[in-house]
Amino acid sequence: MPRYFIEVAYKGTHFKGFQIQDHERTIQGELNRALSILLKTDIQTTTSSRTDAGVHAHQNFLHVDTDSNCLQEKAYNINAILPQDMVVTGIYPVQENAHSRFDATARRYTYYLTRHKNPFLQETAYYFPFTIDIDVMNECCNVILANTDFTSFSKKHTDVSNFNCHIRYAQWEQHSDTVTFEVESNRFLRGMVRALVGTMLQVGRKKINLDQFKEIIFSQNCSRADFSAVAKGLFLQKVYYPETVFLPI
């Protein structure tokens, strides 16, 4: 049976997360519903990156098996059924054994802060009206790039077998209306990006210093990290796959 990757974007404000949950509004649940209506059969998708409640995405993926012909030509019809806060941006035929989660080679996230009250960013950025030192926060990024064990930045009760992540990009930048933290890695742990943001903001506010930040990493103790950065500032920007996963259209 043909397999397809479905690319989606969404504003996560009014969703209870990405993965399907009983009696809750989720990204996967809404897509399953729309596909089932369109194809007139029960459709169950498989997820890629399971973003938390309130987190947004410019790009995320699911995969689905269906013998419906030319599913890639039906994005318009699916979007006519989907709610206004999510959209299918592409449908791609893939190898029959391709997996939207396990074949991903890397993911990139961006976290948005706004330093000034802005009603147009209230659902998509963390209002943080404090003085912060971005230069020292970028020194934290250098520390992050030099390490691989991020046990201290993972929430408890997670089902992973190890806490090693190979971060290949991490950078804070000042923009006209926002401050952003962008990070790319082969994998991320549960709550990891928000914990990194919250802890680095403590460094940026001079609440802790760079050496203390290093100690938090080396401690492998999540009770020492700051998980207070709110979900609404976080965007999944991009999911990377090998080109060999996709079939020619």
- What is the per-residue pLDDT across 212-240, written as a single tens digit (0 to 9) for each? 999 999 999 999 999 999 999 999 999 99
Domain end residue (candidates: 73, 103, 133): 103
Domain end residue (candidates: 47, 68, 103): 103
Q: Looking at the structure, do residues 130 and 56 belong to the same domain, yes or no? A: no
pLDDT digits (tens, 9 = 90+) for 19-54: 999 889 999 999 999 999 999 999 999 988 888 999
| Average pLDDT along the chain | 95
Q: Looking at the structure, do residues 113 and 167 belong to the same domain, yes or no? A: yes
Which entry of 22, 42, 52, 149 is annotated as an active-site residue? 52
Q: 3-class secondary structure for the chain?
A: CCEEEEEEEECHHHCCCCCCCCCCCCHHHHHHHHHHHHHCCCCCCEECCCCCCCCEEEEEEEEEECCCCCHHHCHHHHHHHCCCCEEEEEEEEECCCCCCCCCCCEEEEEEEEECCCCCCCCCCCEECCCCCCHHHHHHHHHHHHCCCECHHHCCCCCCCCCCECCEEEEEEEECCCCEEEEEEECCCCCCHHHHHHHHHHHHHCCCCCHHHHHHHHHHCCHHHCCCCCCHHHEEEEEEECCHHHECCC
| CATH, residue 25 | 3.30.70.580
Mean pLDDT of all residues in 45-74: 92
Q: Looking at the structure, do residues 63 and 154 belong to the same domain, yes or no? A: no
249 band by pLDDT with thresholds 50, 70 and 90: confident
Instruction: Using the predicted structure, report yes or no on whether residue 159 has a pLDDT greater than 90.
Output: no
| CATH, residue 220 | 3.30.70.660
Mean pLDDT of all residues in 76-97: 97
160 band by pLDDT with thresholds 50, 70 and 90: confident
In a domain, 163, yes or no: yes
Total number of domains in the chain: 2
Domain span at residue 86? 3-103
Instruction: Using the predicted structure, report yes or no on whether residue 112 has a pLDDT greater than 90.
Output: yes
Q: What is the pLDDT of residue 158?
A: 78
Q: What is the pLDDT of residue 70?
A: 82
68 band by pLDDT with thresholds 50, 70 and 90: confident
Asked about 135 being catalytic, the answer comes back as no
Q: What is the pLDDT of residue 167?
A: 98
Q: Looking at the structure, do residues 97 and 208 belong to the same domain, yes or no? A: no
Instruction: Using the predicted structure, report yes or no on whether residue 201 has a pLDDT greater than 90.
Output: yes
Mean pLDDT of all residues in 140-164: 92
